Structure 1
């Protein structure tokens, strides 16, 4: 059995998200994680796609000083409904409001990934759009779900990788990992462009 080629330079995930860390670990590449400390507030008149891409790039570039020779991975996700961006609720009350507004409707999740070569200054990026149709769940089901899951750090308040799947009727996507927060299909392409072979 041939050994897998390892990255020639450090690989760093610019995130403290346990979901993104778990996703990246699926590729079997050694990597570090670090907090990028980026303000995630959307800019005025910025689309969901623009917000997610800008923040993914900003997160990757934010760690250049700490990792000057590394390949830095940044990712961000924005949920969109009726032209309104739905971020991480942060509180129970906001999560109730989000899920109530999303009930029986289709939400777009814009998930961007950026790979920044700190040595060369080159940035590559991609964005995935996943459409999620929500069930017509009741107020009581919203409460029951939130008390069990507490998804207050999740854009749109429903974690597809766990109990949140019960709130969802259908998912339309080209990359099943994008909805969890890190589009691995796109990331594999970006890594290959930078000389990192995953297989």
Structure 2
């Protein structure tokens, strides 16, 4: 079996990939994640997922490398990781009572293969007051999460609905699509 590498330092993606019970190594991809002028959120997620996989694959020929990226999309505008408490509060206020689409792309680069898939997750946030936003942010501190919410944790209490055909996509790695790409690269999670 060729080495499997996750081109990511995200603990969320590492936890998700570990569910497949395939041995892998996580390596930082060292990719500039700045959006290009006018770049749509879905295109940004796809470009970055493939760039991350290619960057690590260039350093590890013969490996199967997974790259992934997620961009929150609010009315066509990319909403990134907030980084701070104040920025997270501002993001949640903007998204309160509205729908956002999380664009999550996964790419695989292996000898003779470069492929990408994307999953969309539509999330409807309930109407949030400042007290609820503050309580949530203090409890979960989701400052490293696109859209300022951890659906796998207390962030689920912020939502009215989640619609997706790949349930782990909202956490950062669409495992249904990842399994399909792994099979294309000759790795079967159930082998």
Regarding TM over 0.5, the answer is yes
Residue 177 of structure 1 deviates from its aligned partner by: 0.4
Tell me the TM-score normalised to structure 2 length: 0.97
Residue 194 of structure 1 deviates from its aligned partner by: 1.2
| Equivalence map 1:157-172=2 (5 Å) | 157-172=148-163
What do you get for the CA RMSD once the two structures are aligned?
A: 0.8
Other structure's SS at 1:136 match: coil
CA deviations 1:98-154 (Å, max 9, x no partner) are: 00000000000000000001x33x211100010000011210110111111110100
Alpha-carbon distance between aligned partners in 2 of 1:13 and 1:36, rounded to the nearest angstrom: 9
2:123 matches 1:132: yes
Q: Which residue of 1 aligns with 2:5?
A: 12
Alpha-carbon distance between aligned partners in 2 of 1:43 and 1:94, rounded to the nearest angstrom: 22
More helix as a share of residues: 2
Residue 65 of structure 1 deviates from its aligned partner by: 3.6
CA deviations 1:51-106 (Å, max 9, x no partner) are: 00000000001112431110000000000112211000011111011000000000
Which ranges in structure 2 are unaligned for 5 or more consecutive residues? none
Residue 49 of structure 1 deviates from its aligned partner by: 0.8
2:65 matches 1:72: yes
* Misfit runs of 4+, over 2 Å: none
Tell me the TM-score normalised to structure 1 length: 0.93
Alpha-carbon distance between aligned partners in 1 of 2:37 and 2:105, rounded to the nearest angstrom: 19
Q: Which residue of 2 aligns with 1:156?
A: 147
Q: Which residue of 2 aligns with 1:55?
A: 48
* Number of matched pairs: 190
Aligned with 1:109 (options 74, 98, 102): 102
2:167 matches 1:176: yes
Alpha-carbon distance between aligned partners in 1 of 2:76 and 2:65, rounded to the nearest angstrom: 31
